[in-house]
Amino acid sequence: MSIGLDSYLVVAGLVFVIGFFGVLLRRNTLIVLMGLELMLNGCNIALVAFSRYHATPANPMMEGNLFVFFIITVAAAEVAVGLAIIVQLFRLRQTVMLNELQLLKD
């Protein structure tokens, strides 16, 4: 059995869903942030796989890879900012649990 596009997509979907449920169910902001990262990386896997499997000699299809580079860069920046915010939050409120941080109301 050769490893085809489907296998990659299944892995990507699994990673995405794991990340999504992490975001949905966990209360710890750090883990929610990790869940977000997992979702992004799930997308990345799918993009690279599409890029690889749809390429032809005439059209090497680098767009998917390009997308991924962008996402990695943005995700890195996002993590940097997000972690900094979490650190500040912890300093202010002595907690990073989401159920105790409901400031968006009003």
Partner 1 sequence: MNPETLLFCILFLPLGAALVIACFGRRHGSFSAAVSVGSSFAQMALSLWLLWGIWDESALQPQAQWLVFGDVRFHMGFLLNNTAALLLFVVSFVGFWIHLFSIGYTRGDPGRGRFFGGMSIFMFAMMGLVLADNLFMMFIFWELVGFSSYMLIAHYFERPAAAAAANKAFIVNRVGDFGFLIGIIWCYLHFGTVDLAELEVLAAANPEMLLTPISLLLISGVLGKSAQVPLHVWLPDAMEGPTPVSALIHAATMVAAGVYLLGRIYFMYTETALTAIIVIGTVTAIYSAICAFGVSDIKKILAYSTLSQLGFLVAAFGMGTRFGLYEQELEGARLFGVGAANFHLTTHAFFKALLFLGAGSILHACHHQQDIFKLGGLWRRMPLTFLFFTIAVLAIAGIPPLAGFHSKDAILFLAYEESQVVFYVLVLTTLLTAWYMGRLYFVTFFGKPRTEEAEGARESSWVMWLPLGVLAVYSVLGGFMFVYPPGLHFLIDQSVMHPVGGDYTLMLVISVACGGLGLALGYLVYFRMGAESDVVGRRLPGFHGFLRSRLFIDEIYGFYVRAIQQRVAEFLAFLDQILISGLLVRGSAGIAAILGVVARGSFTGSLHGYVYWLLAGMLLFSLYAFGIFG
Please tell me whether residue 32 binds partner 1 under the rule CB under 8 A: yes
DSSP string, 21-33: HHHHH--BHHHHH
Binder of partner 1 out of 56, 91, 92, 105 (CB under 8 A): 105
Residue 23 interacts with partner 1 (CB under 8 A): yes or no: yes
Span from 4-12, 40-48, 60-68, 94-102 in contact with partner 1 (CB under 8 A): 94-102
Q: Measured between alpha carbons, how far is 93 from 100 in angstroms, rounded to an integer?
A: 9
Q: Rank residues 23 and 79 by Cβ distance to partner 1 and give the closer one.
A: 23
Cα–Cα dist 100/106, whole Å: 15
**Does residue 92 belong to the site contacting partner 1 (CB under 8 A)?**
no
Give the tokens for residue 41.
Answer: 């990386």
